[in-house]
Each structure stands twice: as structure tokens, then as C-alpha cells.
Amino acid sequence: MAFITANWNPLGEAFYRKTELYEMCWNLRDGLRDCLVAAAPYGGPIALLREPHRRSPSSRPQLEIYSASGNSLASFPWKSGPVVQLGWTVNDELLCIQEDGTVLIYDLFGSFKRHFSMGQEVVQSQVLEAKVFHSPYGTGVAIVTGSSRFTLATNIDDLKLRRLPEVPGLQGAPSCWAVLTQDRQTKVLLANGADLFILDNTSCTAVSPPGLSPQVSSIVHMSVSFSYKYLALFTDTGHLWTGSAHLQVSQSALCLSSMWGCRRPKSQQPSVVLMWDRLLLVAGVCNDIIQYPHRPCVCVGELDGVRVVSSSRQELLQEVPLVCQEIFKIASMAPGALLLEAHREYEKCSQKADEYLREIKEQSMLGEAVRQCVEAAGHEYDIQTQKTLLRAASFGKCFLTDFSPDSFVATCRELRVLNAVREAGVGLPLTHSQFKQMTVQVLIDRLVYRQFYPLAIEICRYLKTPDYQGVSRVLKHWASCKVQQKDLSDEAIARAVCLKVGDSAGVSYSHIAAKAYECGRTELAIKLLDYEARSGEQVPLLLKMKRSQLALSKAVESGDTDLVYTVVTYLKNEMNRGDFFMTLRNQPVALSLYRQFCKLQEQDTLKDLYNQDDDHQELANYYVTASYREKRLESRLSVLQSAVDEYNKAKNEFAAKATEDEMRLLRFQRKLDDEKGAGLLGLSLQATMEALLALGLHKQAEQLYRDFRVPDKRYWWLKLKSLAEKEEWEELEKFSKSKKSPIGYLPFVEVCMKRHNKHEAKKYVSKVPPEQKVKAHLAVGDGAVLARCSASDRLLIDKLNRARATATKK
């Protein structure tokens, strides 16, 4: 702690420090010379392409991928075309941009994923320079070709190429250029000698930075800050221009190699890191500079500083956060500095601790002191310094009654996570500011992508991340990678996945099985699907794997009719009709559902289905139903004859006889239609008889009555109602005397009274049996008879009268 400020260097009103992150684990014999290097921000991986311009087939360039700590992730000879630029996407995928405009994409472990082209015209003119940039839309690629034209792709995941306008007077590549993202628009800023131009989609605009020396003949380097808000220009006269429209500064310098912005968030002092072969220089708006002698290295712009990667170590160059300056600056009287000193004295059992605490309390700044210590602990990379600050904060908050511990607890948790991922074995040197910007979810994704599954799960549990965002998501990715292991059997992998995943919420076995199927392991996919509880997830994948019969079984077991219909429809389209019907025969439930479907939608298929099964009964029923759709009598009779034949095969004599009767009735109806024009075709037997009686064709109705053995009661009722409706009272009287009525004579009385013919009704009262006399007299309203009725009959009559009155009112 005594030497914590030993590596601080003042620059104007701020301090800068260079913190060692790692002793690099790699072994680079030739260092970083003759290498094309790309390092991803936020502590991302590093890619090296050794001797990228080597053309010998016997000795190809070597592409190597390392973690930020120098652990090897992948290495393979480069067999494709000459590479102009390397870069990383926001998802840690490596982009290799070739001279012919082809961009090849590899994952973190060197596996090829896909490729795309920056346009056909680039193949002829070749790519001179290229840059990979990040925008609100995603990762983009910008190139300049031999024809001095710029082509831009703002998002490589949704590729839309934009060819920018020509730059007047530009021959070949510009002296320097950069990509700007402003107001959700991506533009190119370039220098052609001393002239600056901004290219957008439609125009090329000349610009002039305020305060730039008129003696400048060429701008040789430019750099954009990590947030794209600030710009630095370096001229051939050795002057450095930084700022925005209202900020300017000049600084003498030597011939420059590279340049990066070095500005922490919320800082009011812009600064630029300049690199020569063996020197790093930090320049700001003041006249001071900071010089760091250094071996050849690569600088990576970060949110709050610059990572400096050399062949032996990796360091972070950044402005010291203001809260750290206030606490650790010599002779600081800030509340946090006093609280830290009070805690030191307390550990020494010195009474000075009480004096420092009293001084803080007199200023009513104890809460601010605790806040400063907690915040400063988050910005420190050294674990012992973190602990010292947090212990001081814990000591101070013991004397506060209304201090919320949330920020203290959150910082402790976050630092524990950060210290775990900063380990060389993991290699993610994130600062606290980067972690807050990145979010926990992205950090978990990066750990999963690097296959640090146990650490990712422990972090999720430690931070109490919801399962669907944390542990379940990690397990799903782990299982997807597990099924790709070729050295294990299907049974072993399925058992391991089931044991690890179990019933974890948010993990779909069907998703894991789909990954296994994509890897060509169909049997493993089927085994994994057995653990899937949702049939709706099982069946689509089984159909995709051409395991249709198993899919049908799963659909039937689920009890979901929609799912069964889905499988049946798929089978119908994929199989020939014979195989399709044979498959359904083994699944009675599916067969029954398909029959129901065919009855509504595909009648012809239903016929074929019954024929396939030799189901004569159902086939006969089908013919009977089909007969009603025929318009011509001959066709209907033919279809009905087919039904009779099928009923006979099914040994259903009753149905066969009923169908034959229907055919006889149809022929009888056609005959009468031809003779009388009665329009009887298609009516039922009873409706036919009613129509004949209504038309006065009593003989024909009598014939039907005899031929079809219509019950006497039914026939008498039909004729009784018909004669009454036509008010043929003489015919009705003759009919009643033709023989003894099978329905009695009370219906005659009631029918006559219904037609308001009391005179005719009285003719039949005498024929009514004694037990129905009262009802008959009541129907005709015979008062004399009613007077002679017994008391019980009168009660019955009164009840009937009340019922009749109620019915009349309704």
C-alpha cells in the first residue's frame, strides 16, 4: 500500500498509471515482429498471423489464437488467400479480410463458420486497406480498394454493402482514414494530404478542423476514441490535434507509428497514446507528456484505457480514476483518505483512529468516506488493495445508522467475480467499468463461449441469477457441446446429459437433440428426445429425422389430436398411399382420427381406406352416404346396389334389406313422378305417404302401406290427419267405418275439434271406449253429460279446463 502511487505519472491535473495484467503465457521466439495482430476489446482474445505476406506453398503463414493471458486456444496454417486485416466481432468471432474482398469468419477455437464477400468489383481492384469497427448495429467492415473506392458493411450479420462516393483527387489509398459512428450513422473520415473529407451514403464533404496549423502538408495518422466522440490527428510536421468542434491542442512529436485515445468515462481531460518502435507517449491538452520506454508492442483501445500487449507481458495504461486519486494522493484530506488512515491506525490499536473518525464526523462526511472507499475498491486491480479499501469501508459503516449496505455488498460480489475471471487460466482482464458496461449476462456468455462451464455456473449461483438467464442457459450450451464429442458413445453422452441437466427449468432436450442430429448422431438425438417431457417438442424433430413411425407413436401417446393430425398429414405427403394406410393400421387412434378427417374433407380417401382394411360394413355405410350426393336416379341406385353388396359381405341382413327397400321406394317415386308429376323423389317413406294422401292419391298410398308393411297405427294416423286437414269429412267417416280403428276413436274427436267441427266430432263420441268418455265429452263440450259426471270426474274435468285455459293464454 505504501507504494501504490509509485507507478502514477502526472499529466496536467490528472494522473496516469500502467498496471501489469499478465506475464504472457505464450512463447513467441520472434516477438510480435512480422505479425498481423488483432486483439478484441473488453479483455478479449488475441489473434496473430505470422508473416502474412508469405506466398510459399511449402511454408504457409501460421494463424494463432490466444486468450488475453497468452494461453493458446487454436493454431493452424493459413491456406487461403493473402490477408489484409484481422479483427474481432462483438461475439468474439475472428474476421480475416483477404485481398480479394472475401471475409472468412472463425470461432474462438479456430473452427471455420462462414464467409462473405465485400462485392464482385473488389475481386478485380483488390483491397488495399481494411478496418473492423463496432457500431450500434453490430460489427462492421470497411475497405478501400485499388480504385480508391470505399465499401462499407455496417452489420456483417445482416449484410448490406454500401459503396461510398468517390473522393476528388484521391489516387490509391488515403494517407490515413477512420470509421465514425455518429447519430446512428456510419461515416468514413479520410485524409488526402492536408485535406480531410467525410464520406456518407450520398456525398463527400470536405471538412477543416478548427485550429489545425495551415503549414500542415499531410495528415499521416488519425485515431477515434472508443466512444467515437473524440478524434486525434497527427501531421507530418509533428503536431498532434485532438478534440471535437470546440476543443483543440497541439503538441510537438516525432515520426509516429500508431495512436490511440486514452480517456476514462466522465473524464474532462482528453489524452492520446502515441507509439513508436520503442516508446509509448501519453499526450494531453497541457504541455506535459508521459514517456514509457517499451519493447515493440500492440495497443488495444478500451472503454477506460489502453491495453499494451508485448511479447512478454500485458499492461493496462489508464487515467487514474478520480476517487482513487482523492484517496491515495499524497497529503490528501479527502474523507475516503481519512477513513483509510483511520482503519490503518485501528489495526495498529492506536488512538489516532478515533481522532481521524472524529475529524470525518465533524465534517458530516462519514457516509461519503465509505462511498469513496467502496468505489475505489472497484477500480483497483490488486486484490490486497481491494481488501484494504473494503475493510476500511466496512469499518466506517459501523458508525453509521442509516447507511444502505447494498452498494457495499454489490461491489464485494462483483469484485469476487472479476478476480475469478482475471485469473491467467481464464484470461479476461476486465476492469470494473468494463464489467458494468458489459453486464453479467454478456460475461456469462463469454465464459460459456470459452467453455468455462463450471465457473459460469458458480458465478450464476453466486450472483443469484435467475435459472433461465443463468444456470439453465449454461447447461444448454454445455450439452450442445457435449453431443459433439466423438470419443464417447451415444449411451454415455445421453446418460451424462441427463445426469447433469436433469429437470432444469429452461433447458429443452429437443434443442440438445437437434444439435446432436446436426452433428450426424441420429441415434443419440433419439435417446435424448426420450427425456423430453413435451411431445410437441419431440414430434417435429422426429419428423425432421425421418423417424415418422416413432413420431406418430409419440403424438398418439401425448393425447394431442392436433399433434396427431400434424404427423398424419406429414406421413400422407411423404409416403405412398399403400404404406401410409399400413402405417395407420398399426395406430388405431391415429386411424380413427384420420377417418374423422376424411369424412369431413376427403370422402374419396375414406373409400380407399375402407377398401384397404376390407371393412365392408363401413364401406357400405360410405356408399349409402355417397348415394345422397348423386343427382341422377340411375347413379344413386347403382351406388345403393354397391352398398347392398357390401352389407351382404358384412353379413348385415337388416341393413341390406333396408337399403333394398330404399331402392324400391326410389323406383316407386320415380314412377309416380313420371305419371302424376308428384315430385316425390328423394322423400322418406312417411313423407311420401303424407304427400300422396295430400294429393288425394289414396290408392297409391294404400299400395305403399301394403308393400312396405307400414304399421297400421302409423298409416291410420297419417290418413286421419290428411283427411282432417283437407276437411273431407265424408271420406273420414267412411275411413272410420272401413274396419276397427287401431288407434281408437278419441283421436277422431280431437282432430275434428281441432278443425272446429263439433258436429263431426260428436259422431265418434259414441265409439270412444268408456274409460275415454269423459275426455271425449270434454273435447266436444257436452254440458248434459258433464252434469251427470261423478265428483272425481268433475275434478278431472276442472283440472283439464284450467290446463286448456292456461294453454290458450300462452
- On average, the pLDDT of the chain sits at 83
**Tens digit of each residue's pLDDT (9 = 90 or more) over 214-270:** 778 888 888 888 888 888 888 888 888 877 733 344 444 433 345 555 555 656 567
Query: How many Cβ atoms sit within 10 Å of the Cβ of residue 580?
Result: 20
Q: Residue 719 has what pLDDT? A: 76
Higher pLDDT, 784 or 683: 683
Indicate if the pLDDT at residue 306 is higher than 80: yes
- Asked if residue 556 has pLDDT above 90, the reply is no
- At 407, the amino acid letter reads S
Q: Is the dihedral of CA 781, 782, 787, 792 positive or negative?
A: negative
In this prediction, residues 116-130 reach a mean pLDDT of 90
Transcribe 489-514 into DSSP letters.
-HHHHHHHHHHHHTT-TT--HHHHHH
* Model pTM above 0.75: no
Q: How does residue 791 score in pLDDT terms, banded at 50, 70 and 90?
A: low
Q: What is the pLDDT of residues 409-464, one digit of tens each?
A: 999 999 999 999 999 999 999 999 999 999 999 999 999 999 999 999 999 999 99
For residue 43, the model assigns a pLDDT of 92
In whole angstroms, how large is the CA radius of gyration of the chain?
A: 48
Distance from C-alpha of 243 to C-alpha of 249, rounded to nearest angstrom: 7
Neighbours of 122 (CB within 10 A): 23
Torsion angle, alpha carbons of 664, 667, 668, 670, to 10: 160
Give me the pLDDT at residue 685, please: 74
Give the pLDDT of residue 246: 34
- State the amino acid at position 123 in one-letter form: V
Average of pLDDT values for 590-600? Answer: 75
Q: Looking at residue 586, what is its pLDDT?
A: 78
Share of the chain above pLDDT 70, in %: 89
Region 73-89: mean pLDDT is: 92
d(CA 138, CA 161): 14
Are the beta carbons of 432 and 418 closer than 8 angstroms?
A: yes
Give 235 or 614, the one with higher predicted confidence.
Answer: 235
DSSP-assigned states of every residue in 596-632: HHHHHH-HHHHHHHHHHHT-HHHHHHHHHHHHTT--S
What is the number of alpha carbons within 13 Å of residue 159 lying toward its C-beta? 11
What's the rounded Cα separation, in Å, for the pair 216 and 238? 9
320 close to 46: Cβ distance less than 8 angstroms: no
Highest mean pLDDT among 14-23, 212-221, 665-674, 713-722: 14-23
Task: Give residue 616's pLDDT.
Answer: 81
105 or 744, which is more confident: 105
**CB neighbourhood size of 783 (10 A):** 7
Residue 112 backbone class (left: φ over 0; alpha: ψ -120 to 50; beta: rest) = beta
Question: Poorest-confidence range of 98-102, 160-164, 517-521?
Answer: 517-521
pLDDT of residue 469: 84
Beta strands 62-66 and 72-77, pairing class: antiparallel
pLDDT tens profile 312-370: 899 999 999 999 999 998 888 999 999 999 999 999 999 898 998 999 988 889 999 99
Secondary structure (3-state) at 713:
helix
Give the residue, 649 or 768, on which the prediction is more confident.
649
